A and B are shown apart, each in its own frame.
Chain A
Amino acid sequence: AQKVTQAQTEISVVEKEDVTLDCVYETRDTTYYLFWYKQPPSGELVFLIRRNSFDEQNEISGRYSWNFQKSTSSFNFTITASQVVDSAVYFCALSSNSNSGYALNFGKGTSLLVTP
């Protein structure tokens, strides 16, 4: 079964705090891709990162960083020094051959609210 779980439904932090959004996935495939998307109130999903199953290096992009651990089937996303503009719903997604190839299988999302 292919499944993405984002256990945190809502997170509220004060500006400048660090926050980590959790993503746990299930797949029987050895080759798969993981994605993070941001959905601001406007509704458009904004692509943040893609990671393949063979690359476990952590990645940093500005205030964003991602921690991929195959041993725990997790692909967590950390925002350092959060800002009000980071307020959005964040989705983790999985694509793999068993997941019928081309479809993205999304988690239910984590709503992040950053207050001044």
Chain B
Amino acid sequence: DAGVTQSPTHLIKTRGQQVTLRCSPKSGHDTVSWYQQALGQGPQFIFQYYEEEERQRGNFPDRFSGHQFPNYSSELNVNALLLGDSALYLCASSSGRASIADTQYFGPGTRLTVL
């Protein structure tokens, strides 16, 4: 049973560039959430996708956008990269019961470095 997978593992970009990160949910899951984890901090919620729509968004600027595909996989796009966007980006999947009880299962993350 495959868990949550993310690609790429590492990425180096320069300021002003754009980046796309990818996530495939755990088998049987249809909801994908994205988190940003700065060094030494806990993960911060970016947004969640369900039925190909953004269901909830955290306190992140519009430079952060996403997409969910019919096969439930998801992309996170970040435009006009800033140095402060350097972080570990974690994808989590869960069932779509739309409940605070849903357990989110995380992937290994993508380490983004902005120079």
Contacts and interface: CB of A to CB of B under 8 A. Distances in A.
A103 B45 contact: yes
A37 interface: yes
A44 B107 contact: yes
Contacts of A109: 41-42
Nearest to A32: B100
B106 A44 contact: yes
Contacts of A100: 56, 58
Interface residues of B, number: 28
B42 A91 contact: yes
Interface string A36-52: 01000011111100101
Nearest to B105: A47
B56 A102 contact: yes
Nearest to A103: B45
A102 B90 contact: no
A49 to B, nearest CB: 9
Contacts of A96: 100
A95 B42 contact: no
A106 B36 CA distance: 11
Nearest to A31: B100
Contacts of B108: 42-44
A100 B105 CA distance: 19
Interface string A5-39: 00000000000000000000000000111010100
B109 to A, nearest CB: 5
Interface in A81-103: 91, 93, 95-97, 99-103
23 contacts: A4-B42, A43-B90, A43-B109, A46-B106, A47-B106, A50-B103, A91-B42, A91-B43, A95-B101, A96-B100, A99-B100, A101-B56, A102-B31, A102-B48, A102-B55, A102-B102, A103-B33, A103-B56, A104-B35, A104-B43, A105-B45, A106-B43, A109-B42
Given A91-B43, A103-B48, 7 more contacts: A52-B101, A100-B58, A102-B33, A102-B102, A103-B58, A104-B104, A108-B42
Shortest 4 CB-CB contacts between residues of A and residues of B: A106-B42, A103-B45, A45-B106, A44-B108
